[in-house]
Amino acid sequence: MMVNVKKRSSYRLFFYIILSVITVTAVVIYFQELNKKIPKHIYINENQQIVVCMGIPASGEIIASSDSISVEAVNSITDLSKPVTFVAGTAGHYTMKVNLFGFITYRKIDVDVVDEKYVYPGGFQIGMYLHTDGVLVANAEQVHSDANKDICPWEGKVMKGDYIVAINDHIISEKEELAEEVNESQGEVVHMKIRRNNQIYEEEVLPVQCEDGVYRIGLWVKDDAQGIGTVTYIDENNHFAALGHGISDDNTGNVMMISEGRVYRTHVMSIIKGKNGTPGELLGGINYKQYNQIGTIKKNGANGIHGDLSEEIRSEYALDSMKIGYSYEVQDGKAQVRFYHDGSFRDYDINIEKLVNGAEKNITFQVVSPELLELTNGIVQGMSGCPIIQNGKIIGAVTHVFIDDSTKGYGIFIETMME
């Protein structure tokens, strides 16, 4: 009898463990799907009425209510499982609390009443050069010393993805500066200031003399990046945004922190078509001479490259202004991708298949234009930043291509990119 009791207890414990795992998994999936439906931001043009469909089992409450905005005109409380009507007055900022079960505040949504905004959609390619803010540690390896030993001077002190910003109290911005300081130490401890996750740390590292007589610390570093991308838009002040995603280091996968950057004219010489398993690519040439520079880069962030372009660029490409289309206006179905090729802009048809809030991959789409499929076989590297247009408004930008299907891609909402 004792054996059976133990077996029942074991089965019961196993059952409870499985039930707990299933419950936790279901809750995680539930909230992941919920987050995809809740926007971070809702923009409403002045004196406009809009309808937003979130379709979530929650209630919404406007915290800072006034005559400038109302929600269904019912005490500023509304059922978010149904379409919500916002009626805006003058410009202002408000916050909507998203309440679960009527009393638990789960999220807050910024609601802004803004002036109607226009930008100049891009679609043309640029050459980019970015300089890191400090020297980026791309990798680390053992150092083979002159005593025939393998040593890791950096172990437990410096790691891949760190930025070395100073050594022996000397601020450094070039990888050559780091190498010189290490070698000139002649085996004495070097004092480093390292930025990691926006925090500054101080570490001491002992260089190792190698067989060639040079002192090293085993770090592979980089101080710049370059490439070709596509401008998404230029505003009336000649500020521009491109790519729709940040430029990341290949070794760490992290968006690179930059001190400055420059923008150059470029031209596409050829296109390698994408195919399943291998993304295609725009191949172009960049002349980094000063006379070819057309702008500066101020920020490399998760939502794209931002900076300033020369005033003549808008007229050089004969750009026309277009109204911003916010996320609540975006719908599944027909849209266009604007792409500059052979001296002219073309809008190529795509089909929007899925929309989500919160992440940078807001828009999932498939290229259906026979012309673009013939030209590129869909989306290729270098097209990141191409404007996505729907119903005469710029609603987003291309960001990624599906590795296993070059006809499909992701995009970011234009409002997210502009934040």
Annotate 84-123 with DSSP letters as a single string: EEEEE-SSEEEEEEEEETTTEEEEEEEEEEE---EEEE--
The pLDDT tens digits of the residues spanning 301-322 come to 989 999 999 999 999 999 999 9
Q: Identity (one letter) of the amino acid at 28?
A: V
Question: Band of the pLDDT at 54, cuts 50, 70, 90?
Answer: confident
Q: Decide if pLDDT at 344 tops 70.
A: yes
Average pLDDT, the chain: 86
Residue 409 has pLDDT above 70, yes or no: yes
Percent of the chain, pLDDT > 90?
44
In this predicted structure, the answer to whether residue 33 has a pLDDT above a threshold of 80 is no
If one compares 92 and 387, the residue with the highest pLDDT of the two is 387
Choose between 113 and 171: higher pLDDT. 171
**What is the pTM (predicted TM-score) of this model?**
0.83
Average pLDDT over residues 225-246: 94
Predicted confidence band of residue 399 (pLDDT cuts 50, 70, 90): very high
Task: Measure the CA–CA gap between 393 and 142, rounded to whole angstroms.
Answer: 54
pLDDT of residue 90: 76
What number of CA atoms fall less than 13 Å from residue 43's CA on the CB side?
18
Enumerate long-range contacts of 95-98, CB under 8 Å, 24 or more apart: 95/62, 95/63, 95/64, 96/42, 96/60, 96/61, 96/62, 96/63, 96/71, 97/60, 97/61, 97/63, 98/38, 98/56, 98/58, 98/59, 98/60
Above 50 in pLDDT, residue 1? no
51 or 417, which is more confident: 417
More confident residue, 250 or 136: 136
Over residues 59-92, the pLDDT tens digits come to 777 765 555 555 443 345 677 778 878 777 777 7
Percent of the chain with pLDDT over 70: 90
pLDDT at residue 112 greater than cutoff 80: yes
For position 389, what pLDDT does the model report?
98
Asked whether the predicted pLDDT for residue 220 surpasses 80, the reply is: yes
